[in-house]
């Protein structure tokens, strides 16, 4: 048996290009080259600056929920760059004369990685990161309930993402789309390692997400500050709770389905094979039993973000809190009842399709309730169009259009005509880009000061919004049109000249979106450079309404000096109404925070190497790493000294210092909100 399994020289990214230099292999080699050079450049930068040590001791080993959240978002940002670049290459492919410059397989790899990355390695880590940073601060907790497990989740996600990146350098990714339906992805039709990359990168990250879901749910159930009843929780905490419950129940079907596929491929089992009694419909059902709740895992946290950004920048209380909570719960429950609408055309009876079609349309109702909640929050408010608010407004506008096309697709008769067309592609991008990305961008622009102490640059933020917004419409409205004209999805090239003008517009839109992404990179760069003038140490730069704005920016490691006692839905607004700018301390006591440890990182990296070994059928190496992974867990179980204490005295000093800072900070008005006069103490009018 070959210890290196099926790995050979032809799997190294540059070799196919050297053997057969075409534009398609050249692009593949270039992409692999970018990954390798990028990694080397990063290593060089870290070495030159001497950042290896701080990276290890302050970030990788940290169990602080805020830092873990930031690392999640960074991961998602890196993967977003790759996902958007792939989109641009695909758009370029379809406007170039048929058969285009990419081979059909290469194009198929691109749409498969694009989908896989955008869902699992952009959207998921983005929202998980945001939840990590914000949710504990909103409910008066000092950390996640299980900080160690939280770090394990993070590094498992990073490991999964690393495998997808590795597929650019070693071997190929799969070509069956992000859903990877068998029997096409079975061993006969997809013999190379591509599908295994998909299976094992998802296995890592879906285990991570299941653990995150458990962590979030237990944190919310058990760690809320005294007095914070469920119906006093901020909406973002509510949407997190619903998302967490969906994660707990919905990630497992994906794990099960993908591991069954692995057994079919590597052990000759017959779960989904076309012969000997396999049934691929079981895969479709299980995949979408995960896949549909997944849509709401993605979107609910964004709904939470909007429910904070819109009231803050409208200067009003959220309209209809209770209805929003119930709408969220309704969406979470209904999300498990609609999965068949992803395959209306795959042979169910008409009655079954009708039931699922009606259930699908029903979800539009609570979602509509939410849109009215936000609109009525804005109604007669004093609106301030910050970047975060722009993304929220852009979301509402665009998302409703996507919702309408969704209700169209929910009708099985229409779905039969538009199924597998670009109309569908336009629809789900129309939901996910405004619904998830705009929400996450709004959240980052809004909550960024909590982590770093300074605001993000508004000018570049607004530029990025307009590029994303206009770019989105140009990129996807044409797809609706040619989808209705009959253009199927996942085509490497089209020969119908009627599509071309639309595809050119879409290409231009994709470039604008790329521009939007570039503007965001510049925004971060400019903000870091000008951070002195963007500092908001007093901690409340937007006249915020949640507890997270009462702690000072950046939020100290221990989050709260004393645990607040909650008597209403908006304790921070109440405190400010009484003229207080610091919440009265309750009782100073010694607190315990988790000690830093590198073990979660080690565990997850061992799991990642093991997964890589499985992809290339290095069974021996995989077995060794599997055992090693559990040994690290065992090592942790012997570690009983996992907390360090912060004394009551230190917390008292922290409180006094924050109070002094707030008292000496000059007040700013809303006119100066986006200028350097805003030091985190802002009032409607200076009294």
Partner 1 sequence: MSATMTHEGAVHTASHDHGHHDKTGTVIFGFWIFLMSDLIAFSLMIANYADAEWHGIANGPSPHELFSLGLPTIETMALLISTFTFGLCTLGMKYGASMKRTVFWLVVTLALGAIFLGIELYEFHEFWTEGNTPQVSGFLTAYYSLVGLHGLHVTSGIIWGILLMVQMKTFGMNDLMKSRLVRLGLFWHMLDIVWIALFTKVYLMGVLS
Site residues, partner 1 (CB under 8 A): 145-146, 210, 213-215, 217-218, 221-223, 248-249, 251-253, 255-257, 260, 263, 267-271, 273, 275-279, 282, 286, 289, 563, 589-592, 634, 637-638, 640
258/328 with CB nearer partner 1: 258
102/289 with CB nearer partner 1: 289
Query: Please, what is the minimum distance in Å from the beta carbon of residue 335 to partner 1?
Result: 15
Give the position of tokens 């040590």.
Answer: 53
Q: Two tokens at 244?
A: 């967490």
Query: Please, what is the minimum distance in Å from the beta carbon of residue 270 to partner 1?
Result: 4
Q: Strands 682-683 and 668-669: what pairing?
A: parallel
The secondary element (H helix, E strand) that includes residue 645 is: strand 643-646
45/633 with CB nearer partner 1: 633
Query: Please, what is the minimum distance in Å from the beta carbon of residue 275 to partner 1?
Result: 8
Query: Please, what is the minimum distance in Å from the beta carbon of residue 269 to partner 1?
Result: 4
Q: Report the distance separating Cα 585 and Cα 350, nearest Å.
A: 62
251/450 with CB nearer partner 1: 251
The answer to whether residues 66 and 605 touch, using CB atoms and an 8 Å cutoff, is: no
Query: Please, what is the minimum distance in Å from the beta carbon of residue 121 to partner 1?
Result: 22
Query: Please, what is the minimum distance in Å from the beta carbon of residue 263 to partner 1?
Result: 7
143/193 with CB nearer partner 1: 143
Q: What is the dihedral of CA 190, 191, 192, 198, to 10 degrees?
A: 50
Give the position of tokens 């021996």.
Answer: 620
DSSP 556: P
Query: Please, what is the minimum distance in Å from the beta carbon of residue 126 to partner 1?
Result: 23
Q: Report the distance separating Cα 306 and Cα 294, nearest Å.
A: 19
Query: Please, what is the minimum distance in Å from the beta carbon of residue 338 to partner 1?
Result: 18
Q: Report the distance separating Cα 459 and Cα 452, nearest Å.
A: 19
263/521 with CB nearer partner 1: 263
563/583 with CB nearer partner 1: 563
Give the position of tokens 């608010």.
Answer: 389
Q: Two tokens at 658?
A: 């924050």
Give the position of tokens 């999965």.
Answer: 339
Query: Please, what is the minimum distance in Å from the beta carbon of residue 226 to partner 1?
Result: 11
> For residue 397, what are the CA distances in angstroms to 127, 379, 400?
21, 15, 6
Q: Report the distance separating Cα 289 and Cα 303, nearest Å.
A: 22
One DSSP character per residue, 295-307 reads HHHHHHHHHHHHH
23/218 with CB nearer partner 1: 218
432/563 with CB nearer partner 1: 563
141/519 with CB nearer partner 1: 141
Residues 6+ apart with CB under 8 A from 334: 359, 362, 363, 366
Q: Report the distance separating Cα 393 and Cα 390, nearest Å.
A: 5
Query: Please, what is the minimum distance in Å from the beta carbon of residue 208 to partner 1?
Result: 13
Query: Please, what is the minimum distance in Å from the beta carbon of residue 267 to partner 1?
Result: 7
210/597 with CB nearer partner 1: 210
Q: How far apart are the first and last CA of the chain?
A: 80
Reference 352, options 278, 279, 285; nearest CA is 285
Query: Please, what is the minimum distance in Å from the beta carbon of residue 153 to partner 1?
Result: 13
The secondary element (H helix, E strand) that includes residue 293 is: helix 280-314
Give the position of tokens 């210092």.
Answer: 657
Residues 6+ apart with CB under 8 A from 2: none
269/326 with CB nearer partner 1: 269
Instruction: Provide the residue count of the chain.
Output: 687
Query: Please, what is the minimum distance in Å from the beta carbon of residue 630 to partner 1?
Result: 9
Q: Report the distance separating Cα 383 and Cα 396, nearest Å.
A: 15
257/553 with CB nearer partner 1: 257
The secondary element (H helix, E strand) that includes residue 46 is: helix 23-49
**Cα 208 from chain centroid (whole Å):** 13
Q: Report the distance separating Cα 307 and Cα 319, nearest Å.
A: 9
Q: Two tokens at 204?
A: 């890592």
């Amino acid at each position: 048996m070959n210890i290196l399994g099926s790995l050979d020289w032809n799997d190294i990214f540059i070799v196919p290009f050297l053997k057969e230099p075409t534009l398609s292999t050249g692009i593949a080699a270039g992409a692999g080259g970018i990954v390798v050079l990028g990694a080397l450049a990063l290593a060089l930068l870290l070495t030159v600056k001497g950042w290896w040590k701080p990276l290890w001791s302050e970030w990788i080993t940290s169990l602080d929920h805020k830092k873990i959240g930031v690392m999640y978002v960074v991961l998602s940002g890196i993967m977003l760059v790759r996902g958007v670049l792939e989109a641009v290459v695909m758009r370029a492919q379809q406007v170039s004369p048929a058969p285009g410059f990419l081979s059909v397989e290469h194009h198929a790899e691109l749409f498969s990685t694009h989908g896989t990355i955008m869902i699992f390695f952009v959207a998921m880590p983005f929202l998980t990161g945001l939840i990590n940073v914000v949710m504990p601060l909103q409910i008066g907790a000092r950390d996640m309930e299980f900080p160690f497990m939280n770090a394990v989740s993070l590094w498992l996600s990073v490991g999964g993402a690393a495998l997808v990146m590795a597929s650019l350098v070693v071997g190929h990714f799969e070509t069956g789309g992000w859903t990877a339906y068998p029997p096409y992805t079975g061993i006969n039709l997809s013999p190379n390692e591509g599908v295994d990359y998909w299976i094992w990168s998802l296995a890592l990250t879906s285990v991570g997400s299941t653990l995150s879901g458990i962590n979030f749910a237990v944190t919310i159930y058990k760690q809320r500050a005294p007095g914070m009843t469920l119906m006093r929780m901020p909406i973002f905490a509510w949407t997190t709770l619903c998302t967490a419950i969906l994660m707990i129940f919905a990630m497992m079907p994906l794990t099960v389905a993908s591991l069954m596929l692995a057994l079919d491929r590597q052990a000759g089992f017959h779960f989904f094979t076309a012969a000997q009694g396999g049934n691929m419909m079981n895969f479709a059902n299980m995949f979408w039993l995960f896949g549909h709740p997944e849509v709401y895992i993605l979107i609910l946290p964004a709904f939470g973000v909007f429910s904070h950004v819109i009231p803050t920048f409208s200067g009003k209380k959220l309209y209809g809190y209770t209805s929003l909570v119930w709408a969220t719960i309704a969406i979470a429950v209904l999300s498990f009842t609609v999965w068949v609408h992803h395959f209306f055309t795959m042979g169910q009876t008409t009655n079954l399709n009708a039931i699922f079609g009606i259930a699908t349309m029903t979800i539009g109702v609570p979602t509509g309730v939410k849109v009215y909640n936000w609109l009525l929050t804005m109604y007669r408010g004093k609106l301030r169009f910050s970047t975060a608010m722009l993304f929220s407004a852009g979301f509402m506008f665009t998302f409703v259009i996507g919702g309408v096309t969704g209700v169209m697709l929910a009708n099985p008769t229409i779905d039969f005509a538009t199924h597998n067309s670009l109309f569908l592609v336009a629809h789900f991008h129309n939901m996910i880009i405004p619904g998830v990305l705009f929400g996450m961008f709004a959240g980052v622009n809004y909550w960024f000061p909590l982590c770093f102490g300074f605001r993000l640059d508004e000018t570049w933020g607004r530029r990025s919004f307009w590029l994303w917004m206009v770019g989105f419409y140009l990129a996807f409205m044409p797809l609706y049109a040619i989808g209705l004209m009959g253009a199927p999805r996942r085509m490497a090239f089209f020969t119908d000249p009627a599509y071309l003008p639309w595809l050119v517009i879409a290409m231009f839109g994709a470039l604008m979106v790329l521009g939007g992404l570039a503007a965001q990179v510049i925004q971060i760069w400019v903000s870091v450079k000008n951070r002195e003038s963007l500092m908001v140490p007093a901690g409340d730069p937007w006249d915020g309404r949640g507890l997270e704005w009462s702690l000072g920016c950046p939020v100290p490691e221990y989050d709260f000096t004393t645990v607040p006692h909650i008597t209403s839905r908006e304790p921070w607004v109440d405190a400010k109404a009484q003229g207080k700018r610091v919440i009265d301390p309750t009782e100073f006591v010694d607190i315990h925070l988790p000690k830093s440890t590198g073990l979660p990182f080690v565990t997850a990296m061992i799991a990642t190497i093991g997964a890589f070994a499985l992809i290339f059928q290095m069974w021996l190496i995989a077995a060794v790493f599997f055992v090693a992974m559990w040994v690290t867990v065992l090592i942790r179980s012997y570690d009983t000294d996992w907390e360090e204490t912060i004394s009551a005295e230190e917390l008292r000093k922290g409180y006094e210092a924050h109070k002094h800072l707030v008292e000496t900070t000059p007040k700013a008005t809303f006119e100066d909100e986006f200028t350097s006069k805003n030091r985190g103490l802002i009032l409607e009018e200076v009294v």
